[in-house]
Structures are given as structure tokens and as C-alpha cells.
Structure 1
Amino acid sequence: MNKTIAASPQWISLLILLCSWLLSRIFATESASWLGIDFSPEMSVWWQVGFAMGMTLCLSLPYWWLIINAVFPAAVFYAMDLNWPPIVFMVALLVLVLIYGAIFLTRVPYYPSHPKVHALVEKLVPEGPGQQFLDLGSGMGGICMHLATQRPDCKVFGIEMAPLPWVVSWLRARCRNIPCVFLCGDYQNYSLKNYSVIFAYLSPAAMSALWEKACLEMVPGTLLISYEFGIPGQSIIPTYSTGETGMPGLYVWRMGSNFILAPEQLQG
């Protein structure tokens, strides 16, 4: 895949959707004038879907972009047929932007981790006072509130870029009087040097940049934990399992060690 496309597939996808819409309009107009074929609006949408899928395949984007580019035009067309009041679509769009809008910048979707993961991460946090835990992309704050409740000796922080999940996590912690600190922003603009354990449930697209930042800023001996996604060139198989079939495991690195940790190494 071209390096430009690999670095910005979201913008390439947006361009594909615009180009496919334009091509479908041109195709429908030319077919009507030259061939005497008058395509219905529904047929034009399916031509747009075809053009979008063809361009996505030609540019070798990952398969999920093929699904997105195929579903989006049809979903918009059939949603308009519902004849709902415009305010419904405006509210739905606003909620989606507040939750998922940051994807265009981070390429990390919102997806909460399972409670079994929270319990496993809790076991990996070293014992003793002075521990500081940071969740990168803390979402609704589930793992942070679990850890702050179970490990009152540990200072717990979360950072989230999407406004709505951040507000929800902040309110949940305040209403339940749980001593978590939730920050709103991009973790790439936030120093990692003060934390003994950093947890990340991001996406494959973000792992190389996270590793570079961790190597520059994290103190040797501190732990970097990633759920589900490894770091290219650093690991192949998750070290810790949640014990549930079909559920991904955790990758754990002790910074400065240059290898992925096995359970017996973590205890050393």
C-alpha cells in the first residue's frame, strides 16, 4: 500500500465517497442523454456503491474500509426514505461526532474493554504505595473506576479525546465518589514519564506511534500493557489470557527490557 494511503486511509475513504458520488451522477446523466436509460435514484446509489468498492479495492485499503465505503451511501439513501424530522438526524449526527469524531485524527474507535480485562490488569499493577496508572483512551472510564475502587493505594488517571465519553466518565466518577482523574485530550500531547503502569486499548494503526512515545518518555522498569493489539516488531503472541474463549489477551512490556514479558518475568 502507498505510504500516503496507509498514513491517512480515513481521508482517502472520504475522497472515495465524494468521487464515487460524482461518478454516479455523471454516469446517470450520460446514460440518460446517450443511451436513453433513465436510472432511478435508488439505482444511482447502487452505482455509487459499486464505484466506491472498486476504488477501495484498487487502492488496497484494509477490508473494513471496503465495508464502510459500501454501506455508507446506501445507509444514507435509505435513511432519507424514513421521512423522520431533520432534528432526529441532527441529534444522531451530533452524538456520533461527539463519540467517534476523533477517529479521523487518531484512527482509534471507541470500544469498551471487558470487565475480565479490568480484573486481569488489576493483578498486573505492582503492589505498594506510589503506583500511578494511566489509561490511554479511557472511554467511559470502566477500567479506571475498577482499579481505583480495588486499589486505593494507586493513583488512577484516564485520558480520552472524544468529548462525550470523557464527560460520561467524569460524571460517573463524581457521582460514585471514585477518586479517578479524567483528562480530555490527545495522549500524544501528554507526557508518559510519571506513570508506573500505562494501559492502552487502541487499534493496530496507533501501536507503532505509541511504542515510539513510550520508549522516549516512560521510565525504565515501568510497564506498558496493551489489550488485543501487539506492537509491530515487538511481539507476536499475547502473554496474558483473560481465560475466556475468543477473547484477546494482554501484551506486557517492562520498559528498557527489549522483550515482551512472560508471567514469571513480571514477578521478578
Structure 2
Amino acid sequence: MMRQLLGRYPALLALSAQLCATVLVGVLVYLAAQFGVWRPSWLLAGVAQGLLAASLGQCFGLSRWWWWLNLAFVPALLALSGAPLSPWVFFGGFLLVLLLNWNSFGEQVPLYLSGTKCRRQLADLLTRQAPGFSFVDLGCGPAGTLLWLARQFPQAQFVGVETAPLTFVIAWLRSVPQSNCRIRYESLWRTDLSAFAVVYCFLSPAPMAALWDKARGQMAAGSWLISNSFEVPGVPADQQVELRDWRQSRLLLWRMPG
């Protein structure tokens, strides 16, 4: 039961990694003080804790972006502990990260941003659609990719859904001038996929099996499900497009059967 709880809430996995690393480094610092002559500085101990926490997070199965957060968290606190900063600064920073990555706590979907190569490949794929096609981005983030595509295909209709509060506000404000693009504050699980010719997502491994079941039940025959990097377990993609970016990303495409 504990494993299921931690798997559903990756923030708890990150917290577990931080606590384990803190205890281990604390024990090592204590032993060094009791039995040795070497005394590590607090900042050095913090860096060691960060490296250990980041490594443990990877062992626990956290996404790659958590590695940097686990690495920097304690060293950053120690580095800033002597600075004349109000505690509200730390609270504000935490709140900002929370509002931008709300999805990672409940839906296991962190904030991933589609790169320039991804946009261009998506545009190339969309040229094969009828001019008035409909496109939805499940978890659109700040809507950079969605708005870029909407400007490339003015006859098509683009929809983005997002549930991270601050990210949604940013995306909605950016979309106001673009008449063929709408942003909804809506969970991807409540989004009806039947109206879209193309469904795009850049999520995480965790929801892909459930998303496939949803797509099979709602999407029309001949429509496309496109996932950036993450596979549907046990279902080979009908087409793959290598993006050749620094993340070694790829687009995986499934055409809905009749």
C-alpha cells in the first residue's frame, strides 16, 4: 500500500529521497566528528546530501526533472541561509513551484515543455490533415507549442487543457489574441476526445495506459493520438518520429482503428 501511495504521488517519493539522504549524510557527519579529524562544512555536506537525494530519487523511479530539484534543494537552502532574506521568499518560491507543477502531485504529470524540433515535426504531421482539423493538447503547459501551431494553421481549431493553476492563467492570457485557440481549466480525464482529429500529449509514463483506454473508447476511427516520448505499455506505435534533441525525444503516433 505504501508503494502504491508513493507511486501515485511523486512528491512523496522526492520527500522520501530527501529524508533518506539527510539521515545518511547526518550519520556520516556525526561519525566523522566523533572518530576523525576532518570536519566537512555545512555547504559541502549539503552538496553531498543533494547528490545522494538526486540519486535515490532516480532509484525510486522519479522523472529526470526531479533529479535537478532534489540535487539543488538543500544546497540552495544552506547557501541562502545566511542571506538577509525574509522567510516569505522561501514560501513564495515553494508556492510558485507548486502552482506551476500542480499536476505532478495528483496526476503524476510534471511540467514538460515541447521543444522547437517537436513543434516543427508536429506541423509537418498536421499538414496531412484536412484544413479545418481539430487538435487538443492534453496538459498544454504555458501553451507555447499550441499557440505556435495555431498560428501556422489558422483554419484549424486548437484546444489546450491544463490544471496547474498558474500555468493555466499564463496559457489563457497568451491565447486571448489567437481566435482559433482556446484554453480550458480542465483535467485531461474529463476532456471528451471524440471531437478531435489529433490528440497530443507530453505527460509521463504513469498515465499512458489509462489514456490509451480513454482514447480507444472516445476517439473516432482514423484520428491520431500523438505522445511525446512516452509509450503506451504493450501497444507498439504505428509510427515513430525521432526528434534528435538533447532529450533524445521522439513522437509516437497511434491511428485509431475503425
Residue identity in the other structure for 1:137? G
Matches of 1:165 and 1:234, distance apart in 2:
31
Distance 1:134 1:250 in 2: 15
> Whose RCO is larger (CA < 8 A, sep 6+)?
2
Cα–Cα, structure 1 residues 87 and 229, in superposed 2: closer, same or farther, change >3 Å? same
Alpha-carbon separation, structure 2, partners of 1:227 and 1:184: 22
Question: What are the residue-to-residue correspondences of 1:45-84 with 2, within 5 Å?
Answer: 45=46, 52=53, 60-62=60-62, 64=64, 68-84=69-85
Contact 1:160 1:182 in 2 (8 A): yes
> Does the C-alpha gap of structure 1 residues 16 and 250 become closer, same or farther in structure 2, counting only changes over 3 Å?
closer
CA 1:104–1:44 in 2, change beyond 3 Å: closer, same or farther? same
1:152 and 2:144 correspond? no
Q: Mind listing any 5+ residue stretches in structure 2 that lack a counterpart?
A: none
What is the rounded CA distance, in whole Å, between the counterparts of 2:238 and 2:40 in structure 1?
52
Distance 1:214 1:181, change over 3 A: same
Partner of 1:112: 113
Q: CA deviation at 1:141?
A: 1.3
For 1:56-205, list aligned pairs within 5 A. Answer: 60-62=60-62, 64=64, 68-125=69-126, 126-129=129-132, 131-174=133-176, 176-205=177-206
AA in 2 matched with 1:136 = L
What's the CA shift for 1:187?
Answer: 0.7
Q: Once the two structures are aligned, what percentage of the paired residues are identical?
A: 27
**Structure 1 pair 30–255 and aligned structure 2 pair: CA distance change class (3 A):** same
The amino acid that maps onto 1:166 is F
Give the TM-score of the pair, scaled to structure 1.
0.74
Aligned partner of 2:221: which letter? P
Letter of the 1:117 partner, please give it. Answer: C
Assess, with a 3 A threshold, how the Cα gap between structure 1 residues 226 and 185 changes in structure 2: closer, same or farther: same
TM-superposed deviation, 1:199:
0.7
Post-superposition offset of 1:136: 0.8
Structure 1 unmatched runs, 5+: 258-268
